Amino acid sequence: MTISSLIDTPSELTDAASSKTAIVLMTRVRLARNLAGNSFPGWAKPAQREEILATCREAVSATLPMKRSLSLSIDELTDLEKQILVERHLISRELSGAKSGAGAVISRDQAYSVMINEEDHLRIQVLRSGFQLKKAWTTINDLDSALEDRLDYAFSPTLGYLTACPTNLGTGMRASAMMHLPALVIASQMEKVVRAVNQLGMVVRGLFGEGSDASGSIFQISNQTTLGESEEGIIKRLGSVLNSIIEHELNARQKLLEADPNKIFDKIGRAFGILQNGHVLSSSEAMNLLSLIRLGVDLGVFPDTNRCVIDRLLIESQPGHLQHAQRGEFEPGQRDLLRAMRLRSEFANFTKPNFTLSSDGPN
Amino acid sequence: MATPLKCDLCTKPATVHLTQIVNNKVHKVDLCEECAQAKGVTDPSGFSLADLLLKASLNPEPAAAAGVRCEQCGFTQNDFKKQGRFGCPACYDTFSALIEPLLDTMHKGITHTGKVPQKALARKSLYDRLTKLETDLTEAIKSERYEDAARTRDEINQVKHSFGQKPSR
């Protein structure tokens, strides 16, 4: 399998069949693992990094879920290819910045990806569309156990899995959900939510993790602590936090509609107008407009079947994907023109908004 | 009279007093205006008390343990201060005095209660057993205790046999 065929293969994220996932777009679980007796990637000598990379690539590729996978070394990739993998959440920005001695193994359906020599020797990830925390955990647990047959993990009975950064000690697990929370953003309640979630030991970040912004009203919510609690315990606690955020978002939508439906319909209608007719769209503006259309789908302004179209466009409007589709590299200014053109053609035949149905209330 | 609180990060008088509840535990931090700005305390989304506590407890550390070096990888406490990450798994033993007090503020507990890599651990204990038996064997031969040597050799074969069959628990 090659990188270009991977990019063109429908992925868990770009081709999610589950259009029911109104608020949780996707669930992700990652495990940090290291090999006993080896320096962590940030401290290892280049030769040792290469050795670890080779050992891990071989071990990971041999597991069942990676039967048909792409195993790559970071120095084989172009900047554009790396950017696409980051936009699909298959590798991190940190890994894409690595010069050499790092890589990744990615399953064909892109539900599994294992980064090698990022902050830790192994960052195992499972990605599922929709709200599937438990499923994601059991799948990643199996992959981890399969790797254990082939690799000697650094583990301490008291501290658990030993990681480069002490904040990942113990389970080494970070479980997260990507949530679409437009009503909480419109109602300016996000700050309150962030504070409440923090107090429960969970963290809220933007779409691409630490330090990224939350354009498109998409947030990543994950556990902050990894030691002193079992994986199941963390999953359960995160699940209940996510459920309560969903409830708050639904309440906020209800309140917005009750207070003044015209205000919210105006936002959705304008977004639709710009997507149909705009000529210059930055990626952040496109995200925000698509987010409003997605809210429109949830409120019954557009048919339910359109949700997966929007979810696909949210990814395809990202700079890397846009340039890949146009088969070339373009300056940001040119990209904004191309993006608007792409969205105009997508929305030319989009179902007309129907603002009358919505008296039934949001679904 | 209470003396004015000093900033936890530098020695200036503290004007920002922050209390955060993490995992039902109250954590308090006192900062001066500048450090509060620098640490992003004013921006609730980008701020983690755990990070701050980690740095606060590292900064005033005298050179006491600064000379300690990880035997396995040569990492020092100064390297940890600079990077916030360790050099290798053995560093957790080397710097246990440094890390243990931090874990409590960073995590929900200080003891691992999650998954255990059973297969890897079983494999390791077999390896350790084998290494020990092999040393025993050499010593027995050296001191001409041939009966012991024969018994040890049988045991080694047994361990090697179980290796072949079950890397599992």
**B7 CA: distance to closest CA in chain A (Å):** 23
Mean pLDDT for all residues in chain A:
91
Angle at which helices B118-142 and B146-165 pack, to 10 degrees? Answer: 160
pTM of the model: 0.79
- Identify which of A119, A109, A104 has the alpha carbon closest to the alpha carbon of residue A12: A109
pLDDT of residue B63: 46
pLDDT tens figures, B121-168: 787 788 888 888 889 999 999 999 999 999 999 988 888 887 664 433
pLDDT at A181 over 70: yes
| Per-residue pLDDT at A98 exceeds 50 | yes
For the question of an ipTM over 0.85, the answer is no
Residue A137, min C-alpha distance to chain B (Å):
12
For A320, phi then psi, to 5°, come to: -65, -50
When comparing pLDDT for B54 and A242, which is higher? A242
What percentage of chain A reaches a pLDDT higher than 70? 93
Which residue from A34, A153, A231 is facing B114, i.e. has the nearest CB?
A: A231
Cβ atoms A323, A335 nearer than 8 A? yes
What confidence tier does B23 reach under pLDDT thresholds 50, 70, 90? low
- pLDDT above 90: residue B78: no
Among chain A residues, CA nearest to B168: A149
Hey, is the C-beta of B27 within 8 angstroms of any chain A C-beta?
A: no
Flag if B72 and A37 touch (Cβ within 8 Å).
Answer: yes
Rg (CA), chain B: 25
- Alpha-carbon span B42 to B56, nearest angstrom: 17
Q: Is residue B56 predicted with pLDDT exceeding 70?
A: no
DSSP type of residue A164 = S
pLDDT number for residue A19: 46
Residue B89 contacts A, CB cutoff 8 Å: yes
Which tokens in the block code for residue B127?
């390896």
What per-residue confidence (pLDDT) applies to A287? 95
Query: Which residues face A249 on adjacent strands?
Result: none
CA-atom Rg of chain A in angstroms:
21
Q: Is the pLDDT of residue A301 over 90?
A: yes
Contacts of A170 in chain B (CB under 8 A): 107, 112-114
Contacts of B107 in chain A (CB under 8 A): 169-170, 225-228
pLDDT, tens digit, for every residue of A234-248?
999 999 999 999 999
d(CA A263, CA A288): 16
Closest listed residue to residue A345, CA positions, set A319, A327, A325? A325
The nearest CA of chain A is from the CA of B126 a distance in Å of 13
Confidence category of residue B2, pLDDT binned at 50, 70, 90: low
User: Is the pLDDT at B37 greater than 80, yes or no?
Assistant: no
